[in-house]
A and B are shown apart, each in its own frame.
Chain A
Amino acid sequence: MTPAAKDAQLDFVRLSAEEPSSLYFEQFLRDGFSAWPAFYQERFPGLRTWTGVSGLKESIRRLVNAGDDWQVLLASRSLSLVYLASSCMFRVCRNVLATDLSWPTYEQAVEAKARLTGNRITTIPLREHILCRDWTADDIANYLGGAFAAHQCDGLFLPAVDHLGIRLPIRKIVEQIRERSELRFTFIDAAQAFCHVPLGDSLAAADFIVAGSHKWMGAYLPTGIGLFGQRQTREMVERRMKGLRRMEPGDDPLLHFTEQLVAAELDGHSETANLNSLFACAGAAFHQLATDSAAAALQSGQSLAMVPRPSGDWIPRRPNASLRSQIVLFESQKSRSERACPELIRRAWLDSGCIVTGYPGGRARVSLPAKCAC
């Protein structure tokens, strides 16, 4: 959690305890810290990074270098936005190409929407090609371009960076597909890419991008972040978002509330929304803008040699240089029977001073921030 996010969170908790029904709260929510009387500003300085819902959206646009015509959505969880994006995608797509790099939860949500709407997903295996055959960005783009045409797909669902650290060449893939086929909608999962790698490729190619605040952004508390703005699909997404019915799986009180707040259309009947994460998100955005961390993370990332490993049995399994990110996968060289379960892997690495995510089959994922926390 970044210091600014922590300060914002602590002061919001204090505000809730000391001024539970402040008359200024709605104005503060909408217009930010500067709209508060000086008295409040002095008492809760940690909330100075809160610039209102519109201000937070503007900060996120600046973080990813998106134009003013891009819209930002804030939801209580990114899965809500995955439902929304899938719903938009299957308005126009009959067969969506995905890969085995998708985050399983998101993939299930997209698959469920495909089934519900009488459409389908074609999943292409990529991971083994990338990790075992040293495929390059060009290889992947060519392969997916061919697969898209061969399977008569018309939509695309890809992670910008997968959870094991493979960074996909989104722009190249989309260009290859467009050369041979009609691509109607591109949905990019940028949960692992946001504030980690530049999102220029995704912004150039995607109709909808889903990200979150709790990973590389450093807010710790989860806020779903959605971005859309391509001319060809913007109106359709806007309409779909406004038309989302309550009680749908993707229904999200925070998304409704923030949209109504910005449009000054609070209907007073919305479900109670938890606003906690917004202030941490604003603090983290402030911090990220101050440090420009996405570029910094890639340029000054820690060397692998600096990563403290539990033993020499752990060796990095890296993709081709054109596909690398600051997430590194380590693989145990022990025999299959000796490979520990994820929890034991995590403990072993923790003992050596490094927090990792363990995976079955003796794999550990290490994230290398600009300033390594290991």
Chain B
Amino acid sequence: MQLAVPDEPSYCREMEKSNSTLHWIAWLTPPLGGTMAGCVTILLAWMLLPTSGVVAIVGLLVSLLLGLVVAQTMRGRSAGMSSALEATLQLAGDREVFDRYQRLSDSLLRISQQRDSIFREIALEHLDDVVRRAGTVAEGTFVFEGTETWRIVYERLLRSPGLHLYRSVAWVKNAKYWQDEPGRKSMAVNFELHEGERLNIERIAIIADELWQDGEVWPAELLRQWLHEQHTRGIWIKFVRQSALANEPDLIADIGIYGSRALGIQELDEQCRTVRFTLTFDFSSVATAEERWKRLAVYAESFAGYLDRYDMPG
């Protein structure tokens, strides 16, 4: 359910392809030019000079090439050393991160001292995974897979000072949506913060058609009660049938927008258990989600407006 951030838009891929071509052209031009110049020189020498002269020219060019390769290698090694040193110096300014850096460096040193080949193989695989995850975090994204522990981070975010607005899109495919213990606890946090005037919460529920049959005024009873309770507690609730969004599939998502600070994307299995929760602090992702929220709001109807038009069942 990489819903709020589905596959990258096509315009992005095209732009990337075009950039890549330009990059290759720029990269290939100097070596090709050098090769061409070398060929022309040898051709002219072959036509104008005796054999000994041609041998001398070829030898000169080969020596020049060897010198360039050695110089380039030395330059690269020195740049790498300088870059690693710079990184260490920069990190030293952030005590908390530097502490992790030092501990990680110590571990890496101890790993590198191990000579067992199987150990090394497994250790490198694990390190690759650590590097991959660190890269994801560096891009502002956290991924929680197959666990409900993301709710701890969720609560920490909701309770964070300075956060005044939490907008949530609930993609309800099952009437048990957020009805299990972790879900109920998260709702309790919603209610506590909203009623305490610490956080404004708005929610749009996208309801699967089997839970809100065509022709039925209200969605399935359990779901209606869930929406109704939020409404009476002052959470601004809107809802929409999933089929109404057939032409806008990118709007069908289960997301939370934490002010302008972060975006959470929840993926659930058929039993409404969390498969993955992705939290990103990337501003452009948050802005895109806000734009989608506005589009989704056009399709959804407010629970309050619905109450004005229809009686509630018994």
Q: Do A and B come from one complex?
A: yes
Chain A positions near chain B (C-beta within 8 angstroms): 87-88, 90-92, 94, 116-119, 182, 184, 230-233, 235-236, 239-240, 243
What distance in Å separates the Cβ of A231 from its nearest Cβ neighbour in chain B? 5
Interface code B228-239, partner A: CB below 8 Å = 1, 0 otherwise? 000111111000
- Chain B residues whose CB sits within 8 angstroms of the CB of A88 once the complex forms: 234
When C-beta atoms are compared, the residue in chain B nearest to A93 turns out to be B236
- Chain B residues whose CB sits within 8 angstroms of the CB of A240 once the complex forms: 234
Contact A118 B194 (CB under 8 A): no
- Chain A residues whose CB sits within 8 angstroms of the CB of B234 once the complex forms: 88, 91-92, 236, 239-240
- Chain A residues whose CB sits within 8 angstroms of the CB of B165 once the complex forms: 94, 118
Contact A118 B164 (CB under 8 A): yes
CA A182 – CA B298 in complex, angstroms?
Answer: 10
Contact B232 A239 (CB under 8 A): yes
Query: Which range contains the number of B residues in contact with the other chain?
Result: 10 to 19
Interface code B282-311, partner A: CB below 8 Å = 1, 0 otherwise? 000000000000000000001011011000
- Chain B residues whose CB sits within 8 angstroms of the CB of A236 once the complex forms: 231-234
Contact B236 A87 (CB under 8 A): no
CA A255 – CA B164 in complex, angstroms?
Answer: 30
- Chain A residues whose CB sits within 8 angstroms of the CB of B304 once the complex forms: 92, 184, 232-233
Name which of A88, A182, A230 has the most chain B CB atoms within 10 A of its CB: A182
Contact B305 A92 (CB under 8 A): no
Contact B197 A116 (CB under 8 A): yes
B280 at the interface (CB under 8 A from A): no
What distance in Å separates the Cβ of A169 from its nearest Cβ neighbour in chain B? 22
Contact A239 B200 (CB under 8 A): no
When C-beta atoms are compared, the residue in chain B nearest to A152 turns out to be B294
When C-beta atoms are compared, the residue in chain A nearest to B298 turns out to be A182
CA A87 – CA B199 in complex, angstroms?
Answer: 13
B195 at the interface (CB under 8 A from A): yes
What distance in Å separates the Cβ of A239 from its nearest Cβ neighbour in chain B? 5
When C-beta atoms are compared, the residue in chain B nearest to A87 turns out to be B197
CA A75 – CA B236 in complex, angstroms?
Answer: 28
Which of B199, B235, B308 makes the CB contact (< 8 A) with A232?
Answer: B308
- Seed contacts A90-B200, A236-B231; 6 additional CB < 8 Å A-B pairs: A91-B234, A94-B200, A116-B197, A184-B302, A231-B307, A232-B302
CB neighbors of A among B173-218 (8 A): 194-195, 197, 199-200
Contact A232 B305 (CB under 8 A): yes
What distance in Å separates the Cβ of B161 from its nearest Cβ neighbour in chain A? 11
- Known contacts A90-B197, A118-B164, A184-B302: does B236 contact A235 (CB below 8 Å)? no
When C-beta atoms are compared, the residue in chain A nearest to B303 turns out to be A232
Which of A91, A182, A233 makes the CB contact (< 8 A) with B194?
Answer: A91
- Known contacts A118-B165, A182-B302: does B197 contact A235 (CB below 8 Å)? no
Which of A90, A233, A235, A243 makes the CB contact (< 8 A) with B195?
Answer: A243
Q: What are 18 contact pairs spanning A and B, CB under 8 A? A: A87-B197, A91-B194, A91-B200, A91-B235, A92-B236, A92-B304, A94-B165, A117-B164, A119-B164, A119-B200, A230-B308, A231-B307, A232-B302, A232-B308, A235-B232, A236-B231, A236-B234, A239-B233
What distance in Å separates the Cβ of B240 from its nearest Cβ neighbour in chain A? 14
- Chain A residues whose CB sits within 8 angstroms of the CB of B236 once the complex forms: 91-92, 184
CA A87 – CA B195 in complex, angstroms?
Answer: 10
CA A104 – CA B140 in complex, angstroms?
Answer: 46
What distance in Å separates the Cβ of B95 from its nearest Cβ neighbour in chain A? 32
- Chain A residues whose CB sits within 8 angstroms of the CB of B235 once the complex forms: 91
Contact B307 A232 (CB under 8 A): yes
- Chain A residues whose CB sits within 8 angstroms of the CB of B233 once the complex forms: 236, 239
- Chain A residues whose CB sits within 8 angstroms of the CB of B200 once the complex forms: 90-91, 94, 117-119
When C-beta atoms are compared, the residue in chain A nearest to B306 turns out to be A232
- Chain B residues whose CB sits within 8 angstroms of the CB of A116 once the complex forms: 197
What distance in Å separates the Cβ of B204 from its nearest Cβ neighbour in chain A? 13
CA A19 – CA B52 in complex, angstroms?
Answer: 136
- Chain A residues whose CB sits within 8 angstroms of the CB of B164 once the complex forms: 117-119
Contact A117 B197 (CB under 8 A): yes
CA A110 – CA B308 in complex, angstroms?
Answer: 26
What distance in Å separates the Cβ of B297 from its nearest Cβ neighbour in chain A? 8
CA A90 – CA B234 in complex, angstroms?
Answer: 9
Interface code B220-233, partner A: CB below 8 Å = 1, 0 otherwise? 00000000000111
What distance in Å separates the Cβ of B217 from its nearest Cβ neighbour in chain A? 15
Q: What 8 pairs between A and B have smallest CB-CB spacing?
A: A118-B164, A91-B234, A232-B304, A235-B232, A92-B236, A232-B308, A232-B307, A117-B197
What distance in Å separates the Cβ of B15 from its nearest Cβ neighbour in chain A? 32
CB neighbors of A among B229-272 (8 A): 231-236
CA A231 – CA B197 in complex, angstroms?
Answer: 23
- Chain A residues whose CB sits within 8 angstroms of the CB of B232 once the complex forms: 235-236, 239
Name which of B194, B199, B235, B236 has the most chain A CB atoms within 10 A of its CB: B236
- Known contacts A92-B234, A94-B165, A117-B197: does B308 contact A231 (CB below 8 Å)? yes
When C-beta atoms are compared, the residue in chain B nearest to A235 turns out to be B232
CA A236 – CA B232 in complex, angstroms?
Answer: 4
CA A220 – CA B200 in complex, angstroms?
Answer: 39
